[in-house]
C-alpha cells in the first residue's frame, strides 16, 4: 500500500524548512569567495538586484508549480505541462543528485573542522591542513558521516524529520550568526574588510562576468532551478498567495549571506588573509578562517566552534532538502515506503560522492556543471514553463500581488526579461565550464 502524501504541520514550519534549504554552504562559502573574486561590494549590489529581479520571481513560480501539481520535482513538470515535458522532471532529479553528491563532501569537511577547531587541534598551517582534509580517505569517511546524518533526518519524514529539525536548527543558526557578526565588529583592524565589502567600485558593477556569477550564485543560494523548493511547496495544503512566501524566503536567504559577509570579511582583513581567499576558491573559508582562529588562541577556539557549528547547521538543512527531492522521486517512481526510498537514495548519493571526496578537481567540475550550469538551465525551463506553457499558471498566481501593475511586471519578467537574461548567462557559463573541464583534464 502506498503511504499518503506528506504535508507540513504549519506554515511557519514550511517557511523555516524552505529558508533552511536556501541558507547553506552557498551563503557563507560560495558567497564569500565570489564576492572577493568579483570586486566585493560591486558584486553584493549586483547580487541583490539579481535576487529581486530574477531569483524571487522565479522562486514564486517554482513554488507555485509544486503546490499546484502536488507532486515533487520528478512528476510536477509532466503533470503541469504534458507528457512531452516529462524529461524535465528527470533533469531536475539528476541535477539534485549531482549537487548532493559533492555538497555532502563539503558538509563532511565542515563537520570535521567543527570537531577539530573545538578541540583546538587546528594549527596555523591551515593550507596544508586543508589539502589533507579536503580529499582522500578521511574526506570519504566524513562525507559518509554527513550523508548518514542527512539520511537520519529525512528518514523521520517531512513533519517529524525535516520540519522538526528546521524549527530547532534555523533559529539557532540566526542567533549564532548575529553573535558572530557582533564579535567581528570588535576587531580593531576589520575596517578595511567592511570597506571592501560595502563600498562598491562602480566600474566592476557593469561587467558581464559580475552579472553572470551573481545569477549562478542566486540560483544556488535560493535552491532554485531543480525542484527542491518545488518539492517542499508540494507538501503545502494552504491555498492563497505564494508571492509573500517567495519574497520572504529570498529576503531571509540574502540577509544571511549579507550578514555572513559581515563575519568573514572583517576577519579576513584583520589577519591579512585576502590572498588566501582568492587563491583556492573551494578552500577559502576552510583555509583563511581557521588560520585566524588558530592565531586567536582560546577566543579563536570559541568563535571558531560557533562559526563551524553555524556552517554545519546551514549545510545540513540544505542537504536534507536535496535528499528529499530524490526520496520523493523514488517513492513516485516505485511506490516504495519512504524508509526504503531514503536508504536507496541516500546510499546511491553516498557512493556518487566518493569521487568528489577523492579529488578536488572533480568537486570543482561538478559544482560548475550541476551547481551552476544545470540550475540556470532549470531556471530557464521554469520561466518558460510558467510563463508560456502551463495553462494554470495564471489562475494559480492570480492573487497575492500588492497591485495589478506588480503582477503585470512579474509576468513580463517571467516571460521575457528573465529568459533573455538567462540565455545570455548560459552562453557565458557553457564557455566557462568548458574551460574549467579542459583545465582539470590537463
| Helix, strand, or coil (residue 358) | helix
**Smallest distance from ligand TRP to CB 22, Å:** 5
Q: Between residues 150 and 223, which has the closer beta carbon with respect to ligand TRP?
A: 223
Q: Are 385 and 65 a contacting pair, CB within 8 Å?
A: yes
What lies within 8 Å, CB to CB, of 54 at 6+ separation is 215, 218, 379, 413, 418, 421, 422
**Smallest distance from ligand TRP to CB 220, Å:** 5
**Smallest distance from ligand TRP to CB 29, Å:** 8
Q: Between residues 92 and 196, which has the closer beta carbon with respect to ligand TRP?
A: 92
Q: Between residues 31 and 269, which has the closer beta carbon with respect to ligand TRP?
A: 31
Q: Between residues 111 and 228, which has the closer beta carbon with respect to ligand TRP?
A: 228
Phi, psi of 190 (to 5 degrees): -80, -10
**Smallest distance from ligand TRP to CB 10, Å:** 21
**Smallest distance from ligand TRP to CB 85, Å:** 19
Distances (CA, A) of 283 to 57, 97, 277, 294: 32, 23, 8, 16
Instruction: Give the Cα separation of 303 and 81 in Å (integer).
Output: 50
Q: Between residues 217 and 386, which has the closer beta carbon with respect to ligand TRP?
A: 217
**Smallest distance from ligand TRP to CB 258, Å:** 14
**Smallest distance from ligand TRP to CB 253, Å:** 8
DSSP 399: S
Q: Between residues 8 and 401, which has the closer beta carbon with respect to ligand TRP?
A: 8
What lies within 8 Å, CB to CB, of 125 at 6+ separation is none
Instruction: Give the Cα separation of 165 and 313 in Å (integer).
Output: 10
Phi, psi of 377 (to 5 degrees): -60, -50
Instruction: Give the Cα separation of 399 and 186 in Å (integer).
Output: 46
Instruction: Give the Cα separation of 15 and 24 in Å (integer).
Output: 15
Place of cell 582534509: 133
Instruction: Give the Cα separation of 233 and 71 in Å (integer).
Output: 9
**Smallest distance from ligand TRP to CB 277, Å:** 18
Q: Between residues 151 and 294, which has the closer beta carbon with respect to ligand TRP?
A: 151
Residue numbers at the binding site for ligand TRP (CB under 6 A): 21-22, 24-27, 99, 220-221, 223, 226, 228, 318, 321-322, 375
Q: What is the per-residue DSSP string for 67-136? A: HHHTS-TTTHHHHHH-GGGHHHHHHHHHHHHHHHHHHHHHHHHHHHHHHHHHTT---S-HHHHHHHHHSS
Q: Between residues 25 and 425, which has the closer beta carbon with respect to ligand TRP?
A: 25
Amino acid at each position: 500500500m502506498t503511504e499518503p502524501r506528506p504535508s507540513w504541520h504549519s506554515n511557519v514550519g514550511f517557511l523555516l524548512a524552505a529558508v533552511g534549504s536556501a541558507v547553506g554552504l552557498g551563503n557563507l562559502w560560495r558567497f564569500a569567495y565570489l564576492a572577493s573574486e568579483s570586486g566585493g561590494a560591486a558584486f553584493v549590489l549586483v547580487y541583490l538586484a539579481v535576487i529581486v529581479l530574477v531569483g524571487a520571481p522565479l522562486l514564486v513560480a517554482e513554488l507555485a508549480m509544486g503546490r499546484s501539481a502536488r507532486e515533487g520535482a520528478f512528476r510536477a513538470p509532466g503533470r503541469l505541462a504534458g507528457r512531452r515535458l516529462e524529461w524535465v522532471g528527470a533533469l531536475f532529479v539528476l541535477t539534485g543528485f549531482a549537487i548532493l553528491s559533492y555538497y555532502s563532501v563539503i558538509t563532511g569537511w565542515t563537520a570535521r573542522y567543527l570537531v577539530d577547531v573545538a578541540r583546538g587541534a587546528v594549527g596555523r598551517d591551515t593550507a596544508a591542513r586543508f589539502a589533507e582534509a579536503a580529499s582522500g580517505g578521511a574526506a570519504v569517511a566524513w562525507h559518509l558521516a554527513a550523508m548518514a546524518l542527512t539520511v537520519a533526518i529525512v528518514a523521520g519524514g517531512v513533519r517529524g524529520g525535516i520540519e522538526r529539525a528546521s524549527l530547532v536548527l534555523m533559529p539557532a543558526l540566526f542567533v549564532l550568526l548575529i553573535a558572530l557578526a557582533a564579535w567581528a565588529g570588535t576587531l580593531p583592524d576589520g575596517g578595511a574588510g567592511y570597506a571592501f565589502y560595502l563600498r562598491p567600485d562602480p566600474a566592476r558593477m557593469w561587467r558581464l562576468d559580475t552579472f553572470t556569477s551573481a545569477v549562478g550564485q542566486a540560483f544556488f543560494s535560493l535552491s532554485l532551478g531543480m525542484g527542491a523548493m518545488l518539492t517542499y511547496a508540494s507538501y503545502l495544503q494552504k491555498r492563497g498567495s505564494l508571492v509573500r512566501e517567495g519574497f520572504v524566503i529570498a529576503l531571509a536567504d540574502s540577509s544571511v549571506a549579507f550578514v555572513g559577509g559581515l563575519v568573514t570579511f572583517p576577519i579576513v582583513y584583520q589577519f591579512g588573509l585576502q590572498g588566501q581567499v582568492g587563491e583556492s576558491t573551494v578552500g577559502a573559508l576552510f583555509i583563511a578562517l581557521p588560520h585566524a582562529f588558530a592565531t586567536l588562541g582560546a577566543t579563536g577556539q570559541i568563535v571558531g566552534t560557533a562559526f563551524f557549528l553555524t556552517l554545519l547547521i546551514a549545510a545540513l538543512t540544505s542537504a536534507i532538502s536535496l535528499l528529499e527531492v530524490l526520496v520523493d522521486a523514488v517513492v513516485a517512481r516505485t511506490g516504495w515506503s519512504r524508509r526504503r526510498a531514503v536508504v536507496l537514495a541516500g546510499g546511491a548519493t553516498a557512493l556518487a560522492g566518493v569521487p568528489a571526496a577523492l579529488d578536488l578537481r572533480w568537486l570543482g567540475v561538478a559544482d560548475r556543471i550541476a551547481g551552476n550550469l544545470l540550475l540556470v538551465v532549470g531556471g530557464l525551463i521554469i520561466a518558460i514553463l510558467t510563463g508560456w506553457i502551463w495553462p494554470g499558471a495564471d489562475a494559480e498566481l492570480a492573487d497575492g500581488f500588492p497591485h495589478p501593475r506588480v503582477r503585470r511586471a512579474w509576468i513580463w519578467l517571467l516571460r521575457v526579461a528573465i529568459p533573455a537574461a538567462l540565455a545570455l548567462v548560459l552562453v557565458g557559463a557553457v564557455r566557462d565550464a568548458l574551460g574549467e573541464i579542459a583545465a582539470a583534464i590537463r
